[in-house]
Structure 1
């Protein structure tokens, strides 16, 4: 069978792999079957996306005004060009002509305005509403193919923002006419259109004959949700699936040894981490947070749980992003220091819970964390949640320690730090309930700073402050291993 290659470009934000899909080397006949792992696909309307899997898979059907090329540089998408005016807050975008939605409706500036307004309006359902709402003041269609965006203050990274989660262009006519049904019957401008949808199981895309750009090389793409790790491997080995996204860490070495498959390790902008609930005891006390950080052996977790397929970091900026400061390091493993801090805080018999989603890797992580923290006298109880109930629980603040993550859909560290750490960010991104005026002030500086060197220093300052506060620990950036037939 001919090799099938999947290119992952930069993706979005709340949970764990944030990369849009495009096929570039699939055979001219037959279906390409892609296994995306355990996270179910439930929502097909961009403003209702609740996982990176939904965002990534639906990138086959939806496009944005700007995009990332294979070198992670901003490139034209549905906008051919853009410029910022002298006032530094007004952007003018020239849109591509001859583009149609998959129902035949023309794409134009009014359609672009409609979609951005859906995200920034106060009652928007989009998880990206806080970022877009605090970034964009207004959107206007100057004529059929000229769009004007005014930002709330100087926003150097607007093109990056438009390329990521929240920038998808859906067909306004279909959104209006279908209402709730649009969440099951998507319509965008992308190279593939949905043909069949079985929630939590599979989604089938067919090549869109009216696509404005280069046609997809595979007539159909079948995306499957396969929760069990062993079932995923069996499906790939037997040929039931052709591409596996997010290869489980403990299966990487097995697949590397098999000459029938190739593994591609893509640079990741995703991250996962443990957040403490700072709004409740005992983690409103920094000493307790730092004690847990010292009780955890990060290097041991990287080896035993992830088989070396993650990169640890601290402070909230992934190693793949500009502004990453390698001198900001995780707390070292030090059981004696952990016990000392717990004594000082009056928490020698600390009992805490650790919440995580129903994922085989996280199940193993919970077991290792439980054993490691026990050495410091901490009684850690794992709490395993179904994915559908997990985010509402985080928003309610019903946890003490929780595993969460997201990808940087914009490629710019400001948006990661803004979502994760700004005191006014909503509880589904700032799940730690973190508040630090110095961080908020520095984020304001990063937002409008156009000089790269000064901006990098400000980013480093935020990561240092946050690492010292220890509101989040065990930051991990996964290696995006993709397996496919050789």
Structure 2
């Protein structure tokens, strides 16, 4: 069975002509310069499952299965695939595809890539969740491989749409070898030329690309986290397009005849994660500064109070200028498995105070929350707004904004230094199984579960539903299980959803782009406007 993600509900119309892929001969010699908002942590395509990393990798490396702009599955290196049984799949590779060094792409390369994923050391966000269910990979011939799973795994093609295929000789290559460029050889639409950390990635067109050569002879992806600097570069003509167009400047960009905006609903939810694991959490204290005898975040009443204290409509309208959607679940409406039973919780500060009293905190308590200041649209502003809202109901919240790489290194294993964090999660697969198994399943790296569960939340009853959903072949039954899992998680307030993002790109009016739910900024899909 081949799972196709459903059509997403778009909130802004995109001109039809802009959706047409144009590779006119006159454009074939041009260069393209794009400004990225998020800083990649690595170019090794198997090291860290992070959107900026994955987007850069998608320029250089192919996957067996691709996702379109709405995360529907399309053929990639595999021209076809089918299930032989509930636990056995066969993939047939395209013929005549070569890596950038001229060596053929064969089934042995796919097998080596799948073996490498769980073997990459020290990953802050491993890809193991996508290969966890694979029992064996059998190469039948150069173009055919058979994958056996430990149990029914209907999402195998979807999971494999996240795994980059590398030449087999780089199976044991280190992350440093990718960073140097020595191992950056793929079969994708662009060849790797250079990576300057914190500055840029330079790519050259792969004229032999099986999907058609890109319009651009060279693509430069500049890393520009500062919102004003990205816009300034666009207005000055230093860059041709930018991702994460800043909300504060959208009106000004929209009024310009020489600019265009491209928007779609994101697969990302912004949320608050709690330390629910430790009996005493390091950054919570009584209002007088004295230690608390127990971790208040382990009490569901406290977590619900935090959710009720957040005025989501105010954040969406005032901070995000309407360019977001108030969230009550893990995935926006229109994505597979998004629960229809989870509207945004009502803003109820009196109810929040009542729950805090019931939980034994009539005077509230002190808490520190950490969040990024360089990763998501208006992330620091959202963090500060949440702090103000919670302080009004008695939780004296101190907000600490910092670079995203520090959040990742200090907030997760092995440090677990924080008690509460503002984070974001984008669904690689375009369905609710991604945040459920990544964020809320009890951490079990061997099974690829809870790989981003930084608060170490654990609910065995929820785990059982998630695991059942991952092994359910029938789409209707799996959808019901995914909805049930989200409903149970939110009943326990396992985390506090705040908003679903809207992805926004700005380009010069000479360009067209197909906006993507996965946030990927892909040079191949920027085309000359006609």
TM-score > 0.5, shorter chain as reference? yes
**C-alpha displacement at 1:134, in angstroms?**
2.5
User: In the comparison of the two structures, how many residue pairs are matched?
Assistant: 463
1:17 matched to which residue of 2?
Answer: none
Partner Cα separation in structure 1 for residue 84 and residue 150 of structure 2 = 14
2:208 matched to which residue of 1?
Answer: 210
2:72 matched to which residue of 1?
Answer: 73
Which of the residues 433, 441, 444 maps onto 1:414?
433
Which of the residues 164, 167, 185 maps onto 1:168?
164
**C-alpha contact 2:136 2:147 (8 A) present in aligned 1:** yes
1:19 matched to which residue of 2?
Answer: none
SS at match of 2:304: helix
SS at match of 2:496: strand
2:461 matched to which residue of 1?
Answer: 438
**C-alpha contact 1:33 1:243 (8 A) present in aligned 2:** yes
261 and 312 in structure 1: CA distance in 2 versus 1, 3 angstrom threshold: same
1:15 matched to which residue of 2?
Answer: none
**C-alpha contact 1:47 1:124 (8 A) present in aligned 2:** no
1:157 matched to which residue of 2?
Answer: 155
**C-alpha displacement at 1:117, in angstroms?**
0.8
**C-alpha contact 1:324 1:460 (8 A) present in aligned 2:** yes
Which of the residues 300, 305, 327 maps onto 2:314?
300
**C-alpha contact 1:246 1:482 (8 A) present in aligned 2:** yes
Matches of residues 374-453 of structure 1 in structure 2 within 5 Å?
374-395=391-412, 396-425=415-444, 428-453=451-476
Q: Is residue 29 of structure 2 the alignment partner of residue 29 of structure 1?
A: yes
SS at match of 2:297: coil
**C-alpha contact 1:357 1:385 (8 A) present in aligned 2:** yes
Partner Cα separation in structure 2 for residue 463 and residue 417 of structure 1 = 7
46 and 459 in structure 1: CA distance in 2 versus 1, 3 angstrom threshold: same
**C-alpha displacement at 1:122, in angstroms?**
8.4
**C-alpha contact 2:441 2:463 (8 A) present in aligned 1:** yes
SS at match of 2:383: helix
2:371 matched to which residue of 1?
Answer: 356
SS at match of 1:283: helix
Matches of residues 183-194 of structure 1 in structure 2 within 5 Å?
183-185=179-181, 186-194=184-192
Which has the higher mean CA deviation after the structures are superposed, 201-210 or 403-412?
403-412
Partner Cα separation in structure 1 for residue 236 and residue 357 of structure 2 = 55
25 and 402 in structure 1: CA distance in 2 versus 1, 3 angstrom threshold: farther
Which of the residues 324, 329, 333 maps onto 1:310?
324
**C-alpha displacement at 1:218, in angstroms?**
0.6
Q: Is residue 455 of structure 2 the alignment partner of residue 459 of structure 1?
A: no
**C-alpha displacement at 1:457, in angstroms?**
1.8
1:224 matched to which residue of 2?
Answer: 222
**C-alpha displacement at 1:113, in angstroms?**
0.2
Partner Cα separation in structure 1 for residue 488 and residue 334 of structure 2 = 20
Partner Cα separation in structure 2 for residue 95 and residue 436 of structure 1 = 40
Matches of residues 235-250 of structure 1 in structure 2 within 5 Å?
235-250=233-248
Matches of residues 251-400 of structure 1 in structure 2 within 5 Å?
251-280=249-278, 281-347=295-361, 348-359=363-374, 361-395=378-412, 396-400=415-419
432 and 72 in structure 1: CA distance in 2 versus 1, 3 angstrom threshold: same
User: Please, which runs of 5 or more residues in structure 1 have no aligned partner?
Assistant: 1-8, 11-21
Which has the higher mean CA deviation after the structures are superposed, 328-337 or 118-127?
118-127
**C-alpha displacement at 1:349, in angstroms?**
2.9
**C-alpha contact 1:298 1:474 (8 A) present in aligned 2:** no
176 and 120 in structure 1: CA distance in 2 versus 1, 3 angstrom threshold: closer
Partner Cα separation in structure 2 for residue 218 and residue 440 of structure 1 = 46
SS at match of 2:266: coil
TM-score by length of 1: 0.90
SS at match of 1:134: coil
2:501 matched to which residue of 1?
Answer: 478
SS at match of 2:216: coil
Which has the higher mean CA deviation after the structures are superposed, 246-255 or 422-431?
422-431
SS at match of 2:298: coil
User: Please, which runs of 5 or more residues in structure 2 have no aligned partner?
Assistant: 6-18, 279-294, 510-530
Partner Cα separation in structure 1 for residue 474 and residue 297 of structure 2 = 37
Partner Cα separation in structure 1 for residue 73 and residue 62 of structure 2 = 14
Partner Cα separation in structure 2 for residue 346 and residue 98 of structure 1 = 68
Partner Cα separation in structure 2 for residue 70 and residue 129 of structure 1 = 21
Which has the higher mean CA deviation after the structures are superposed, 380-389 or 292-301?
380-389
SS at match of 1:459: helix
**C-alpha displacement at 1:175, in angstroms?**
5.3
**C-alpha displacement at 1:233, in angstroms?**
1.1
| Per-residue deviation, residues 331-359 of structure 1 (Å, max 9, x unmatched) | 21111111111112222231111101123
**C-alpha displacement at 1:182, in angstroms?**
2.1
62 and 92 in structure 1: CA distance in 2 versus 1, 3 angstrom threshold: same
What is the RMSD computed on CA atoms of the aligned residues? 2.3
193 and 140 in structure 1: CA distance in 2 versus 1, 3 angstrom threshold: same
**C-alpha contact 1:408 1:416 (8 A) present in aligned 2:** yes
454 and 42 in structure 1: CA distance in 2 versus 1, 3 angstrom threshold: closer
